[in-house]
Amino acid sequence: MSQKTIQLTMAQAVARFLTAQKTVIDGQTVPIFGGVWAIFGHGNVAGVGEALHGIKDTLPTYRGQNEQSMAHAAIAYAKANFRQRFMACTSSIGPGALNMVTAAALAHVNRIPILLLPGDVFANRLPDPVLQQVEDFGDGTISANDCFKPVSRYFDRITRPEQIMPALRRTMQVLTDPAECGPVTLSLCQDVQAEAYDYPESFFAEKVWVPRRIMPDADEFATAAAALKLAKKPVIIAGGGVLYSQASESLAAFAEEHGIPVMETQAGKSALPHDHELNMGSVGVTGTSAANALAEEADVVLAVGTRLQDFTTGSWALFKNEDLKIIGLNVQVFDAMKHNALPMVADARVGLEALDAALMGWQVDSSWTSKALREKEVWLGAAEVATAASNVELPSDAQVIGAVQRGRENATLVCAAGGLPGELHKLWRADAPGSYHLEYGFSTMGYEIAAGLGVALAKPDADTIVMVGDGSYLMMNSEIVSAVMLGIKLTIVVLDNSGYGCINRLQMATGGANFNNLFRDTRHQTMPNVDFAAHAAAMGASAKKVASLAELDTALKESQSQTGVSVFVIDTDPLITTDEGGHWWDVAVPEVSDRPQVNSAREAYVKALKAQRAG
């Protein structure tokens, strides 16, 4: 067979192929790749670098400041696009590549599509060991990039130029598959990037990807519907899958029609607006008192698009009903069948609409729904108190959340680690789907600022606000430079409590001495007193330290229409969190210790373990 061919390097073939992949958003056909993040080194500058330059007007290349954080930006971009569009990241070999491994794991845990293109050693091995090559004494096929294997959904090493064709086809399958999706790593050997091959032109034909909506299996569906019909005290847990499936309207309709209260995971928060009367808010370890009271009693939990991680299930001690049945409505069978759940493998929207039709006319006993409404009222009162402003010298995180929320009413909130995620999960009032962007699957310190940049790239019209602790800021902040370079509008609020506040509290709760978390409890000659505003200003942000909640509120209002990156720094109390709501979390306490505080924490721990449901 004679195919029309075009001679390209392998890297040029990658670039050309990526530009040909499209998707449809709001009726418009758009490129499925929103751009490529790149930091070049000898492992990618000549091959991939030359190829990206050739397509820079159709597929923009952005220069990151750190390979991990540029990948964070790419991940946030995909999450903010509900996984319909994504980005690629290319690095050199060795340290540049390995800097992306943590980000790969983050995407893997959170099921977010991202294409990683690290350079690799020479396939021909002639210059070995090349600069930055890891040498394995016993296995000639190992390189540093093997570290990506456990944290990639699909990994391939390209050692011949023609291998890139099946590899790219498989790449697109994985990135666009709602059940499988996650990080794809194509490890591109340096010499092969530059090698030419006669590729068939048909390989580069435009392809439009339409998200697959998986229909439920008839038996699984019938079993799930029957279980729901028998339910006296059902609840719905909405996970990230509800957002990715854009099933918010179907979820609201389903809940309203049948009177079932809804609670949200960190990834699922904003599935329903905060003021929807059946939205009980957050569930689990960082749950509202309303959601957790209902979850404790629930006889049927319809778990939609959730991985049921320990924060959601209170380490499996939250659900106390002996006859509990879980229905796992999920695109991924791995999640659908967790803890012996009745699986209903399907897209969230399709599944909810099918269940709605099957349950037509059925409503849960009104006493259950009215209990939910009462519990919600109680919770709203507690939340109001926690977020109210006051004149305290050091405000709590909750009070800062209140000020941010008052200062910017329709913001898209970005956060990942520290004490803030728990407080935000309970207290942030999210209005529109996707307006709450938390990375709490991997809870990676240093995700926040880079993610803010990714969200702002994905949603240029949104008012993106990053809330970040001093610890996370110090760990990773340099994508501020990229945001300034790109003229991105981004607001960053730094909450400075002089250390790792949440881990210090966890340490105390497990009987530990205050040790090595807050700066004051560390080994030091000089107590650090970081000027975060000066630091951010040095990177080109407009930055200010505010002295009070009122000043923060005003500063946020005043900067609403300002372009560029604005950073506001506020000192906070490291010890205060919102007492109301919440649930036990399994953190193993030492069985023996010289510290009496540890021994009594252990006693409480052993008691708490009794509530845990195994298997």
Ligand X SMILES: Cc1ncc(C[n+]2csc(CCOP(=O)(O)OP(=O)(O)O)c2C)c(N)n1
Point out which residues bind ligand X (CB under 6 A).
417-420, 443-446, 469-472, 497, 500-503
Please state the closest distance from residue 473 (CB atom) to Mg ion, in A.
Answer: 9
For 569, residues 6+ apart whose C-beta sits below 8 A from its C-beta are: 493, 494, 496, 532, 533, 536, 543, 544, 545, 546
Q: Smallest gap, in angstroms, from Cβ of residue 503 to ligand X?
A: 5
> Are 94 and 144 in contact, with CB atoms under 8 Å apart?
yes
Partner whose binding site includes residue 417, from ligand X, Mg ion, none (CB under 5 to 8 Å by kind): ligand X
Radius of gyration, alpha carbons of the chain: 25
Shortest CB 202 distance to ligand X, Å: 44
Q: Which amino acid is at 578?
A: T
Q: Segment contacting Mg ion (CB under 5 A): 225-233, 352-360, 384-392, 499-507?
A: 499-507
Pair 492, 541: CB distance under 8 Å = yes
Distance CA 180, CA 178 (A): 6
Please give the backbone phi and psi of residue 415, each rounded to the nearest 5 degrees, phi first: -160, 170
Site for Mg ion in 202-221 (CB under 5 A): none
Q: Which of residues 220-249 bind Mg ion (CB under 5 A)?
A: none
Beta carbon of residue 444, minimum distance to ligand X (angstroms, whole number): 5
Query: What is d(CA 207, CA 230) in angstroms, rounded to the nearest whole number?
Result: 46
Q: Specify the residue, 165 or 474, whose C-beta has the smaller distance to Mg ion.
A: 474
d(CA 499, CA 521): 9
Identify which range of 116-124, 331-339, 471-479, 549-557 contacts Mg ion by CB under 5 A. 471-479
Rounded distance, CA 600 to CA 598, Å?
A: 6
Size of the site for Mg ion (CB under 5 A): 5
In a 3-state reduction of DSSP, which class is residue 186? strand
Cβ closest to ligand X, residue 332 vs residue 497: 497
Shortest Cβ 24–ligand X spacing (Å): 37
- Residue 250 interacts with, from Mg ion, ligand X, none (CB under 5-8 Å by kind): none
Q: Which does 420 bind (CB under 5 to 8 A by kind): ligand X, Mg ion, none?
A: ligand X
Based on CB atoms, which residue is closest to ligand X, 19 or 312?
Answer: 312
Looking at beta carbons only, is 389 or 503 nearer to ligand X?
Answer: 503
Q: Determine the interface stretch with Mg ion among 127-135, 146-154, 426-434, 462-470 (rule: CB under 5 A).
A: 462-470
**Cα-flanking dihedrals φ and ψ of residue 216, to 5°?**
-75, 150
In the complex, least distance from residue 501 CB atom to ligand X, rounded to whole angstroms: 3
* Binding window for Mg ion (CB under 5 A); candidates: 140-148, 314-322, 463-471, 554-562: 463-471
> Min. distance of Cβ 72 from ligand X in angstroms?
11
Upstream peptide bond of 433 is cis (omega within 30 degrees of 0): no
443: partner contacted, choices Mg ion, ligand X, none (Cβ within 5-8 A by kind): ligand X
- Distance (Å, whole) CA 307 – CA 330: 9
Torsion angle, alpha carbons of 577, 578, 580, 585, to 10: -40
Q: Which is nearer to ligand X, 178 or 418 (CB)?
A: 418
| Structure-block tokens of residue 136 | 């394995």
Residue 497 contacts Mg ion per CB under 5 A = yes
- What is the nearest approach in angstroms of ligand X to the Cβ of residue 443? 5
| In contact, 449 and 468? CB cutoff 8 Å | yes
527 burial via Cβ count (<10 Å: 0-12, 13-18, 19+):
exposed
* C-beta closer to ligand X: residue 477 or 497: 497
Question: By C-alpha distance, which of 218, 128, 209, 216 is closest to 169?
Answer: 209
Taking the complex as a whole, the smallest distance from the CB of residue 394 to ligand X amounts, in Å, to: 12
- Structure tokens belonging to residue 218: 């008839």
Closer by beta carbon to ligand X, 342 or else 420:
420
Looking at 418-489, which runs of residues are DSSP E strands? 436-438, 463-469
Binding mask 417-456 for Mg ion (x = CB under 5 A): ----------------------------------------
Q: Minimal distance in Å, beta carbon 391 to ligand X?
A: 22
As a whole number of angstroms, the distance between CA 475 and CA 455 comes to 20
Length of the chain: 615
| Spatial separation of the C-alpha atoms in residues 76 and 448, rounded to whole Å | 9
Stretch that binds Mg ion, among 77-85, 247-255, 466-474, 577-585 (CB under 5 A): 466-474
CB of 497 to Mg ion, least distance (A): 4
Residue closer to Mg ion (CB basis): 312 or 399? 399
CB atoms within 10 A of CB 384: 11
Which of 253, 252, 284, 250 has its CA nearest to residue 267?
284
Measured from the CB atom, the residue of 13 and 502 that comes closer to ligand X is 502
CA-based end-to-end distance of the chain = 56
Which of 452, 454, 501, 582 touches Mg ion (CB under 5 A)? 501
Q: How far is the CB of 274 from ligand X (least distance, A)?
A: 22
Q: Which does 69 bind (CB under 5 to 8 A by kind): Mg ion, ligand X, none?
A: none
Residue listed under structure tokens 């279980």: 227
Q: Which does 445 bind (CB under 5 to 8 A by kind): Mg ion, ligand X, none?
A: ligand X
Alpha-carbon distances of 381 from 287, 288, 333, 377, 385, rounded to whole Å: 15, 11, 39, 6, 7
Q: Give the nearer residue to ligand X in terms of CB position, either 208 or 575.
A: 575
Residue 156 vs 470, nearer CB to ligand X: 470
Which listed residue (35, 281, 433, 469) binds Mg ion by CB under 5 A?
469
Q: Which is nearer to ligand X, 305 or 395 (CB)?
A: 395
Cα–Cα distances in angstroms (integers) from residue 120 to residues 94, 125, 184, in the given order: 8, 11, 15
Q: Which is nearer to ligand X, 282 or 498 (CB)?
A: 498
**Which of the choices ligand X, Mg ion, none does residue 463 contact, using the CB cut-off of 5 to 8 A by kind?**
none
148 vs 185: CA distance, rounded Å: 7
Tokens found for residue 18: 């990526």
Output the smallest distance, CB 575 to ligand X, in A: 10
Residues that bind Mg ion (CB under 5 A): 469-471, 497, 501
